[in-house]
Amino acid sequence: MASEAMKLNVVFMATLLSCVWISVRAESSLNHSFVIEDDMFLKDGVPFRILGGDLHYFRVHPQLWMDRLLRVKALGLNTIQTYVPWNLHEPRPGHFNFNGSADLLSFLQLAQNLDLLVMLRIGPYICGEWDFGGLPAWLLELEPPVKLRSSDGQYTAQVGNWWKKLLPIVAPKLFSAGGPVIMIQIENEYGSYGSDKLYLQFLQIQARLHLGDDVIIYTTDGAATANLRNGSLPENGVFAAIDFPTGWDPAAAFALQKRYNPSGMSPIFLIQ
């Protein structure tokens, strides 16, 4: 009887410890944070330097994703950026594709398995030297004609429908939920194109609606006053990031960036 009681006690303790371990893992996966404070990125409260590069899943055969991600790690990088091309995922209105080279979820999971962080650039316009900047050509067939990259109601309705499909796929892969996605970019270098702040605010609101408040949302613009004035939304809690080519004065560029971010919210960081 004593032996049987001891066996039961061992089984009970093992089960209890297993439950505690599962509970701790579940809790820890929900307590991750990636934020900006004191002009630094903080990963789980610790200063973190992003060493990143672009790897676009839609430009690489899925069978080679693992190989390319391993090469990224071999370079010493800890983060990748990728765009999300709307026209690949919604080639016809209401017909969505997330298979094969469009299997974004599998790509994000591979990055997570390799401990790579992801900065996801969701557009809707991505540029990226991609056909029509990632916008679906069928937008041009809508009547009345749509004013692209603007707060035009017909355009924002289509963007809203697209993001209702895309962003629920992304949400479980946010860093705060235990996934690899640390930052979400809306639009791309919009300040070089227009100045419709209602449009940018719409994108920010939709991103927050689907993704919540525990992810950094950012814009990227060229390091020039007009670009940042037209394309940033610091008053809406959107991090204004910059890009500039070789030959530019980085100190002047980052000083300009600071003017378009709240105090303490402008880490030295070149997007591309």
Contact between residue 202 and residue 243 where contact means Cβ atoms under 8 Å apart: no
Which pLDDT does position 244 carry in this prediction? 96
Per-residue pLDDT tens over the stretch 127-150: 999 999 999 999 999 999 999 999
Q: Please state, in angstroms and rounded to a whole number, the distance separating the CA atoms of residues 158 and 43.
A: 35
Confidence of residue 64 (pLDDT cuts 50, 70, 90): very high
Helix residue ranges, H only, 114-249: 153-170, 197-211, 225-231
User: What string of DSSP letters covers 70-125?
Assistant: HHHHHTT--EEEEE--HHHH-SBTTB---SGGG-HHHHHHHHHHTT-EEEEE--SS
What is residue 26's three-state secondary structure? helix
Closest CA to 190 of 154, 129, 149, 242: 149
Per-residue pLDDT tens over the stretch 32-59: 999 999 999 999 999 999 999 999 999 9
Which pLDDT does position 272 carry in this prediction? 87
Per-residue pLDDT tens over the stretch 169-193: 999 999 999 999 999 999 999 999 9
Closest CA to 268 of 34, 78, 43, 47: 47
Tokens of 98: 């997330």
Which pLDDT does position 30 carry in this prediction? 60
Q: Please state, in angstroms and rounded to a whole number, the distance separating the CA atoms of residues 147 and 155.
A: 7
Percent of the chain with pLDDT over 70: 89
| pLDDT above 60 for 22 | no
Q: Who's near 135: CB < 8 A, 6+ residues apart?
A: 86, 87, 123, 124, 125, 148
The 3-state DSSP composition of the chain as helix, strand, coil percent (nearest 5) reads 50, 15, 35
Which pLDDT does position 116 carry in this prediction? 99
| pLDDT above 90 for 262 | yes
Kindly report the average pLDDT of the chain as a whole number: 92
| pLDDT above 80 for 15 | no
Q: Please state, in angstroms and rounded to a whole number, the distance separating the CA atoms of residues 221 and 231.
A: 7
User: What pTM, to 2 d.p., does this model score?
Assistant: 0.89
Residue 171 corresponds to which amino acid?
A
Q: Please state, in angstroms and rounded to a whole number, the distance separating the CA atoms of residues 134 and 152.
A: 18
Mean pLDDT value across residues 14-33: 48
